[in-house]
Amino acid sequence: MSDLETSSSAVQSHVPPHEAVDGGARAAVRALRASQIREVANAGFGVPDVLPFWFGESDRVTPPFIREAAADALGRGDTFYTHNLGIAPLREALARYVSDLHGATPVDHLAVTSAGVNALMLAAQLVVGAGDRAVAVTPLWPNLVEIPKILGASVETVALEYGERGWTLDLDRLLAALTPGTKLLMINSPNNPTGWVMTRDEQRAVLEHCRRHGIWIVADEVYERLYYGAAGERTAPSFLDIATRDERLICVNSFSKAWLMTGWRLGWMVVPRALTDDLGKLVEYNTSCAPSFVQQAGIAALERGETFTRELVADLRASRDHLAAALAKLPGVDVKVPHGAMYLFFRLAGAQHSLELCKALVRDVGLGLAPGSAFGPEGEGYVRWCYACDPARLDAGVARLARFLDATGAR
Ligand SMILES: Cc1ncc(COP(=O)(O)O)c(C=O)c1O
């Protein structure tokens, strides 16, 4: 053993583990919420044959033409750093794709990111800092609420309401919360976990209000293509449809959902031109760039993936309807059919403590659902079920839930 090792182990032996680093992480980081979905998943370790519907991803692999594009790129030796904002052919393909869906969007408004979650962090880093006030519409995938807090901002939440029409927004309450001086609105539509889709009129009212008060909108539209609207509608209403490209709007998107590319970590942002150069600097200091062969796969998805996405959405619509119909037959379930995303977020008897209920479901019957409380206190009483899977698997899950409800006498 060297002297160095001897002395370092001697020092460590005098420092109790919890005091080894003075105070631990910054207070803002220590205060972040840990994932309750992970907590439920951990309760399932050792339980054989769990049916997992708790995470937000499909049980299908990325389509072959996308995997082949990445494999070809690797075969060519495409293994180097790229431009911070992404390779030119991908940014150009994005410009064509976004322009086609939402109106003219020049390349210099586009940045490639390491998936949607990194885009959300970059968006927040661009516009909020310590002491700023942000507002978020909840229940919501926790990252949108926690990310501004990492930067020292405070986040006020405005809850959607649940009624006969499913989840809806009280627009007046949201506008009242967007007080002058508020820096940022974080809004996600189609929404995870509720499937709520913001209407065009609501978007217009929010945009006009934010324009008046100089409030930034970060629109998380990663589920825009998972939209079950009228025939021929390719996307949910987007802020990009009604905003100019040079106002306070940052639109966040991802390859994860529309092309089943969750593990690839590829996304993009649409930003005002005035932010693009500074965004490049932020990308440099966060990730430097998305992996180059993954970016090549992104081009394949955009240029050859339209038929795939349309078929995926048709399958998801059928799965949604199948699951909702099966759940509606169970006692103690109150389920409404939403128009977007890939989740049913429904009221379940006994879910007043949804975390405990979900742990019991996984332990007792091997059914993996996400507790509503993982998405904010307004989600308590509900559970989230990701229906992006084979209908036979959904049936097996519903049978387990029925068995559990029977055994616990839930009504
Ligand atoms: C609302 C929302 N935004 C963003 C993301 C980020 O997805 P990714 O980082 O895989 O692009 C997710 C993932 O589930 C999500 O639900």
Model confidence pLDDT, tens digit, residues 302-351 = 999 999 999 999 999 999 999 999 999 999 899 999 999 999 999 998 77
Look at domain 64-304 and name its CATH class: alpha beta
Element (H, E) at 253: strand 249-254
Q: Is 333 left (phi over 0), alpha (psi -120 to 50) or beta?
A: beta
How far is Cα 186 from Cα 137, in angstroms, rounded to an integer?
A: 7
For ligand 1, the distance from its centroid to the CA atom of residue 52, given in whole angstroms, is 18
Report the relative pairing of strands 166-168 and 184-188 from DSSP bridges.
unpaired
> Coil, helix or strand for 411?
coil
Q: What is the pTM of this model?
A: 0.93
Of the residues 137, 138, 253, 257, which should be mutated to test ligand 1's pocket, given the most ligand atoms within 8 Å of the CB? 257
Location of each CATH 3.40.640.10 domain in the chain: 64-304
Mutate to test the pocket of ligand 1, among 57, 58, 117 (most ligand atoms within 8 A of CB): 117
Ligand 1 neighbours (beta carbon < 6 A): 56, 115-117, 141, 188, 192, 220, 222, 254, 256, 262, 267
Q: How far apart are CA 105 and CA 121, in angstroms?
A: 22
Atom of ligand 1 nearest to the CA of 191: 1
> Out of 3.40.50.10190, 3.40.190.10, 3.90.1150.10, 3.40.50.1980, which CATH number does the structure's domain 29-56+308-404 have?
3.90.1150.10
What CA–CA distance (Å, rounded) separates 405 from 409? 6
Residue tagged 């992480």 (tokens): 25
Task: With beta carbons less than 8 A apart as the criterion, state whether 327 and 344 touch.
Answer: yes
> Do strands 161-163 and 166-168 pair parallel, antiparallel, or not at all (unpaired)?
antiparallel
User: Could you give the C-alpha distances from 122 to 85, 283, 381, in angstroms and in order?
Assistant: 12, 7, 33
| Tokens, residue 133 | 């006030």
Contact 139, 344 (CB under 8 A): no
In whole angstroms, what is the distance from residue 27 CA to residue 177 CA?
A: 26
Query: Over the stretch 265-280, which tens digit does the pLDDT of each residue have?
Result: 999 999 999 999 999 9
Strands ordered across the beta sheet of 216-220: 110-113, 267-270, 249-254, 216-220, 184-188, 133-138, 154-159
pLDDT of residue 17: 55
DSSP state for residue 155 in the 8-state scheme? E
Residues comprising the chain, all counted: 411
Ligand 1 centre to CA of 18 (Å) is 33
- Which ligand 1 atom sits nearest the alpha carbon of residue 254? 11
| Dihedral over alpha carbons 347, 350, 356, 361 (to 10 degrees) | -80
Which residues belong to CATH 3.90.1150.10 in the chain?
A: 29-56+308-404
CB neighbourhood size of 215 (10 A): 23
Q: Which atom of ligand 1 is nearest to the CA of 115?
A: 11
Mutate to test the pocket of ligand 1, among 62, 143, 196 (most ligand atoms within 8 A of CB): 143
What pLDDT, on a 0 to 100 scale, did the predictor assign at position 23? Answer: 72
Outline where 44-170 has alpha helix (H): 64-75, 88-102, 115-127, 143-150
User: How many Å apart are CA 88 and CA 107, to the nearest integer?
Assistant: 9
Q: Which of 251, 229, 219 is nearest to 310 (CA)?
A: 229
**Amino acid at position 261, single letter:** M
Question: To 10 degrees, the CA torsion angle through 222, 224, 228, 234?
Answer: -140
Question: Measured from the CA of 117, which atom of ligand 1 is nearest?
Answer: 9
As averages over each run of 10 residues, the pLDDT of the chain (411 residues) reads 40 54 84 90 87 93 98 98 98 98 98 98 98 97 96 97 94 98 98 98 98 98 96 94 98 98 98 98 98 98 98 97 97 95 93 92 95 95 96 96 87 49
